[in-house]
A = this chain, B = another copy of it.
Amino acid sequence: MAKVKISDVAREAGVSLGTVSNALNHPEKLRPETLKLINETINRLGYLPNQSARQLAGGATKSFGLVLPRLDHGFSLQIASGAHNEARKHGYDLLIANADNDDILQDHYLRYFMGTQMSGVMVQPMASPDWHPAMTKMPVPIVHLDIHCSEPGYYVAADNEAQGRIIAELAIARGAHHIVVVGRAAFMQLTLRVLGIHKALALHPDIKIEVIDAGEWNTAADGYGIGAQIAERPADERPDFVVGLTDVLASGVVSALVDKGISVPGQVRVAGCDGNPLAWSGSVPLTTVAPPGYEIGRKGVQLLMEQIENKAPAKIKHIRVGSAARTVTAVAAEDINRQELVRPFLLERASTQASSQTDATAINLGAYL
């Protein structure tokens, strides 16, 4: 059970230490027979390279770290998926850490990755990334995802404000008078969505808007609770349009409203944000704005690669993905038939690989609207 190390392999195979190392890292330098002999010995002995030693001796490893605020958020997963595929394409590994909505933990994992000689690190921060300026001065390429940095540094962000605008314009097009926004607005990204909503409504002072915090976790259950609370209001204080800052939240709201006998979308319309596949693929799909998470992850890795290859000190570089203005207008003005918007999207995906998601911010019109 004692760990077998490279010197054991070397001795056993009757070659030198460096040769075994070459077999691992530069196989093309070895004579085929030598290589074969060494590989056989490696398998026979069950040798496993000690990554720590490799990294120590060899400098950076070909791997990236990704710190996510939560794993059960569909959007974060799309990011992870995009980042993963792009990383593999360049021959890099991707390791993911779950910060569990905790600033301290986020910081912890970030430092951990930085210290592991990762080639690069990505974060989807939950607070503003200015939270710890020291972080961006580290000698490891870092990219912030889904957030706008004011400090110099790299980031890739979806146009969260635009998403809010889309939803708001949808609400306006539907003739909403009283909008309730559900979600933990303290999350930077959600704040921007709320901002977009407010901006879009600036020209419509007659529309009342209300934001309800959904607790720390933004769960379906939280949504259900808020939905129930809304249902119990007297009819004239009840909103006619509810925006879930998250699909899961919106979904919970729908449940509660229906349970309490409120008709959706008859009395209250509901829409979400995230583009969670389950949300719009059921028989009664939820309307949802889908930010291009997959693409954000992909672009993030590309920015990392860029920094690595240039080896230049990070200059300011921002990428904003998927402006969705066109879609908005189309929806608001023409009020397209739902089926036509939702289904083609599904069908289109049926013919491609699931993991190659759409790049642009899209809106999927559903039945609760």
Give me the interface of A with B, judged by CB distance under 8 Å.
1-3, 43, 46, 48-56, 63, 71-72, 74, 77, 80-81, 84-85, 88, 93-98, 100, 105, 108-109, 111-112, 114-117, 134, 137-139, 217, 219-225, 247-248, 251-252, 254-255, 257-259, 264, 276-279, 281-286, 313, 339, 343, 346-347, 349-351, 353-355, 368
Is there contact, CB below 8 Å, between B282 and A284? yes
Q: How far is the CA of A321 from the CA of B107 in the complex (A)?
A: 34
> How far apart sit A281 and B350, CA to CA, in the bound complex (Å)?
24
Beyond A46-B138, A72-B77, 18 additional contacts (C-beta under 8 Å) are A48-B115, A50-B56, A50-B117, A52-B52, A52-B54, A77-B77, A85-B100, A93-B109, A217-B354, A220-B278, A220-B346, A221-B354, A223-B281, A248-B277, A258-B283, A259-B343, A264-B283, A283-B368
Contact in complex: B224, A112 (CB < 8 Å): no
Q: A53 to B117, alpha carbons, bound, how many Å?
A: 10
Q: A282 touches which one: B49, B63, B139, B254 (CB < 8 A)?
A: B254
| Contact (Cβ within 8 A) B277 A255 | no
Name the B residues within 8 Å of A251 (CB-CB): 278, 281-282
* B355 in contact with A217 (CB, 8 Å): yes
Q: Are A139 and B1 in contact (CB under 8 A)?
A: yes
Which partner residue on chain B sits nearest A343 by CB separation? B259
Closest-CB distance, A4 to chain B (whole angstroms): 9
In the complex, chain B residues whose CB is within 8 Å of the CB of A85: 100
A to B CB contacts below 8 Å, 20 in the list: A3-B139, A46-B134, A46-B138, A54-B115, A72-B277, A81-B98, A93-B108, A94-B98, A220-B281, A221-B351, A221-B354, A222-B350, A248-B278, A248-B281, A251-B282, A255-B281, A255-B282, A255-B343, A259-B343, A278-B278
Contacts of A220 in B (CB 8 A): 277-278, 281, 346, 349
- Shortest CB–CB separation between residue A24 and chain B, in angstroms? 11
Which residues of the partner chain B approach A51 to less than 8 Å between Cβ atoms? 52, 112, 115-117
Copies of this protein in the assembly total: 2
B282 in contact with A282 (CB, 8 Å): yes
A104 to chain B, nearest CB (A): 11
Of B95, B224, B257, B279, which is within 8 A of A278 by CB? B279
Chain B residues, CB < 8 A from A100: 84-85, 88, 355
Give the nearest-CB partner of A113 in chain B: B51
Q: Which of chain B's residues have a CB closer than 8 A to the CB of A72?
A: 74, 77, 81, 277, 354
* Pairwise interchain contact B93-A96, C-beta atoms closer than 8 A: no
Nearest Cβ in chain B — how far from A137, in angstroms?
6
Partner of A48, one of B2, B114, B281: B114
Using known A-B contacts A71-B81, A259-B343, A277-B220, determine if residue A94 contacts B93 with beta carbons closer than 8 Å: no
What residues of chain B lie closer than 8 Å to A259, measured between beta carbons?
339, 343
B281 touches A252 (CB 8 A): yes
Q: Which residue of B lies closest to A257 (CB)?
A: B283
**Distance (whole angstroms) from the CB of A77 to the closest CB of chain B:** 5
Q: B52 near A80 (CB under 8 angstroms)? A: no
Q: How far is the CB of A91 from chain B (nearest CB, A)?
A: 11
Q: With A77-B71, A278-B220, A354-B217 in contact, is A53–B56 under 8 Å at CB?
A: yes
* 5 closest cross-chain pairs (CB), A and B: A219-B354, A221-B350, A52-B55, A220-B281, A278-B278
A247's contact among B111, B114, B223, B278, by CB below 8 Å, is which? B278
Alpha-carbon distance A137/B47, docked complex (angstroms): 11
